[in-house]
Amino acid sequence: MKKIIITGILCLLVVAYIFAQAKKQPLAQASIKRGQKVFESTCIVCHQKNGGGVPRLNPPLIKTKYVLGDKSQLVQIVLKGLNQPIEIEGETYNNVMPSFAQLTDEQIADVLTYVRNSFGNKASAVTPALVKAERAKTQ
Amino acid sequence: MKHFFKIVYCIAILCIADTSYAQRKTAVKAKTTTVNAGLKLPTGFHASIIARDLGVARHMAVNSKGDIYVKMDRVKNSGGIIELSNPADNGIARKKTVFGEYGGTGIAIKNGYLYASSNSNIYRYKLNADEQVEDTGKAELIVSGLLDRGQHNSKSIALDNDGNIYVNIGAYSNSCQEHDRENGSKGMDPCPILDSAGGIWQFKADKQNQTYGDGVRYATGTRNVVGLDWNNEINSLFVMQHGRDQIGTMFPQFYEAKYADEIPAEEMFLVKKGMNFGWPYCYYDPMQNKKLLAPEYGGDGKQVGRCAEMEKPVVAFPAHMAPDGLLFYTGNMFPEKYKNGAFIAFHGSWNRNVTGQEGYFVAFVPFKDGKPSGKWEVFANGFAGVSKIESTGDAKYRPCGLAQAPDGSLYVSDDNKGNIWRITYKGK
């Protein structure tokens, strides 16, 4: 009897887990899809369709430590822009990135989720809640 | 009714944009039949690669013996200036020396000196009787402290016949907004950048340790000029301006996306002392053939305003193709048509959002008595190595510098990989 209960609980957990995953996936997929639209209207001009950037002008968004690394820092880049003589994967870039604070929390979450899951990148989603928290820090 | 006119206007503009695009396509097809070393050239011309993988190869200067000095933009792994041997003998330019520990773009030979620039200074090196640098460790500092804030920092140079050197000091901004490139940010009026950048400065070519105070702001309102050359036929400076970016993405209310890709033109200017070419207040619309008020300053794609007084281009090229090299051809190798005409190296666009990227070729404009005498045409194409460029990274090579050899052949540098092409004419 005990065995049956444990197996039953395990089964339930597995089923719950599968459901949770299934629910999570379409959510991320929807976010990526919306994010592509945002990317095409706001980021593509500099970072290019393939995310490869423009040599010595605009950096690539392919597997850089900024794109794949700390999500808070990534959100801050989009909120505040970036204009520092920093090295990105061993190269410096001359153009400036403006602030995109006028985008909504959801748009920023979507575009970063898209970037983190395109051009060969694979990383977890960015949530509107995180963007909201980061925006609060800048105010 | 108002809407009806708006629609008619949009359709009219689309038609204009379409025909100009079609015209350009026909210009692109100008009887190119030869294919050499990856390049499509007019009949009778021949190309070969004389150096490969040098690094970020920007401008070049050739001495009377045919040695080539190449200015490198990144010192790391390549050095600042590379001297190559004359390739005329066996078709290969050998690396002779590497010197000058600074990255940059400008390089030129005049009156027994090699001039070269970093992104803030201009140096020169004495040449010996063979026109080779006497002592590569001995650079005279001619000008220092020119503004370098990253954006548009190439200090390209040209020299006249009266002991002056001209240098581009590009604006560290797209359109002088309070917040550069930010949607909705207003243009600063007057634009404070123009005091120290956004123009062409003139200095003495043989005086050491000059800075802003010793120079003259020769011309203003040039956003960024990478290609410039002295035209000896009419003793005047000509420059190629890079027009502003992102007009369509920042002001979709005034510009239909396809139309926006065609503005503003890349402009060739004849520069005389005191001229104002209008940046950041004005831009040139090649479909309307007018300098128009920039939207950051109240423009809407139709208003002219203060731009009526600004200098016009002598040639207008399609938008965003990024002219990085200019050379007036004075050699005897090419057919008569090319004599005193202008070659322009187009680096290739990155922000033609909907119509696809353009440029990545060397263009030619015939000149007579210092004035364009015909339409511009594509001279050497195929540097990109692909027919459709969606992202800049799709292009294999990007033309940057131009130089003329003593025998009249033409050199083209690429700053993606660092190849150098030699283009010669052998006849039919």
On whether residue A36 sits in a domain, the answer given is yes
Q: Label the pairing between strands B342-346 and B361-365.
A: antiparallel
Section A107-123 average pLDDT: 97
Q: Which of A39, A40, A47, A83 to mutate to test the interface with B (most CBs of B within 10 A)?
A: A83
Q: Is the dihedral of CA B110, B227, B397, B37 positive or negative?
A: negative
Q: Is the pLDDT of residue B103 over 50?
A: yes
Q: Domain count of chain A?
A: 1
Q: Is the pLDDT of residue B14 over 50?
A: no
Token reading at B264: 């503003």
ipTM > 0.85 (yes/no): yes
On whether residue A11 sits in a domain, the answer given is no
Q: Is the pLDDT of residue B328 over 50?
A: yes
The answer to whether B313 touches B260, Cβ cutoff 8 Å, is no
Section A57-86 average pLDDT: 96
Q: What is the pLDDT of residue A139?
A: 83
CB of B394 less than 8 A from some CB of A: yes
Q: Is the pLDDT of residue B12 over 80?
A: no
CB of B332 less than 8 A from some CB of A: no
Q: Is the pLDDT of residue B166 over 70?
A: yes
Mean pLDDT comparison of A87-96, B3-12, B229-238, highest-scoring range: B229-238
| Across A24-38, B162-176, B215-229, B304-318, least confident range | A24-38
Provide the residue ranges of all domains of chain B, joining segments of one domain with +. Answer: 27-425
> Tokens 């033409």, residue?
B410
Banded pLDDT at A6 (limits 50, 70, 90): low
Question: Are B390 and A99 a contacting pair at CB < 8 A?
Answer: no
* Total number of residues shown for chain A: 139
On whether residue A6 sits in a domain, the answer given is no
- Concatenating the DSSP letter of every residue in B245-289 gives P-HHHH-TTTS-HHHHTT-SPEEEEEE-TTEE--TTTEEEETTTT
Question: Are A94 and B153 a contacting pair at CB < 8 A?
Answer: yes
Q: For residue A77, give the nearest of A121, A138, A139 by alpha carbon.
A: A138
CATH code at position A90 = 1.10.760.10
Q: What is the pLDDT of residue A27?
A: 73
Section B396-414 average pLDDT: 98
Question: Are B180 and A99 a contacting pair at CB < 8 A?
Answer: no
Question: Mapped to the 3 state alphabet, what secondary structure does A74-130 carry?
Answer: HHHHHHHCECCCCEECCEECCCCECCCCCCCHHHHHHHHHHHCCCCCCCCCCCCHHH
Count other Cβ atoms within 10 Å, centred on residue A118.
18
Banded pLDDT at A85 (limits 50, 70, 90): confident
Digit-coded pLDDT (tens) for B69-83: 999 999 988 899 999
Buried/exposed code over B56-79 (b: 16+ C-beta within 10 A; e: otherwise): bbbbbbbbeebbbbbbbbbbeebb
Give the number of C-alpha atoms closer than 13 A to the C-alpha of residue B120, restricted to the C-beta side: 9
> Using CA atoms, how far apart are residues B347 and B359, in angstroms rounded to an integer?
6
Token reading at B59: 């401008």
Q: Which of B105, B148, B151 to mutate to test the interface with A (most CBs of A within 10 A)?
A: B151
The answer to whether A99 touches A41, Cβ cutoff 8 Å, is no
Q: Is the dihedral of CA B244, B250, B251, B256 positive or negative?
A: positive
On whether residue A13 sits in a domain, the answer given is no
Banded pLDDT at B116 (limits 50, 70, 90): very high
On whether residue A8 sits in a domain, the answer given is no
Q: For residue B270, give the nearest of B315, B329, B323 by alpha carbon.
A: B315
Q: Position B141: which residue type? A: L
Question: Are B390 and A49 a contacting pair at CB < 8 A?
Answer: yes
Q: Is the pLDDT of residue A18 over 60?
A: no
Q: B246 contacts in A (CB within 8 Å)?
A: 45
Q: Spell out the residues 6+ positions from residue B260 whose beta carbon is closer than 8 angstroms to its own.
A: B247, B248, B249, B251, B252, B353
- Regarding predicted confidence, which is higher, B23 or B275? B275
Residue A85: give the domain boundaries.
25-138
> Using CA atoms, how far apart are residues B117 and B124, in angstroms rounded to an integer?
9
Count other Cβ atoms within 10 Å, centred on residue A3.
7
Q: Label the pairing between strands B113-117 and B122-126.
A: antiparallel
User: Which element (helix H / strand E) includes A138?
Assistant: helix A128-138
Section B293-315 average pLDDT: 97
Banded pLDDT at B90 (limits 50, 70, 90): confident
Q: Is the pLDDT of residue B139 over 70?
A: yes
Class of domain B27-425: mainly beta
Minimum Cα–Cα distance from B354: chain A residue: A45
Q: B249 contacts in A (CB within 8 Å)?
A: 41-42, 45
Q: Is the pLDDT of residue B60 over 90?
A: yes
> Using CA atoms, how far apart are residues B116 and A23, in angstroms rounded to an integer?
62
Q: What is the pLDDT of residue B26?
A: 36
Token reading at B341: 């005409």
Q: What is the pLDDT of residue B353?
A: 85
From chain A residues 75-94, the ones with a CB under 8 A of any chain B CB are 81, 83, 85, 94
Token reading at B324: 């990085």
Mean pLDDT of chain B: 92
Section B171-184 average pLDDT: 96
- Regarding predicted confidence, which is higher, B242 or A19? B242
> Using CA atoms, how far apart are residues A14 and B51, in angstroms rounded to an integer?
63
Q: Is the pLDDT of residue B17 over 50?
A: no
Section B199-216 average pLDDT: 98
Banded pLDDT at B207 (limits 50, 70, 90): very high
Q: Is the pLDDT of residue B6 over 60?
A: no
Q: A94 contacts in B (CB within 8 Å)?
A: 150-153
> Using CA atoms, how far apart are residues B102 and B100, in angstroms rounded to an integer?
6
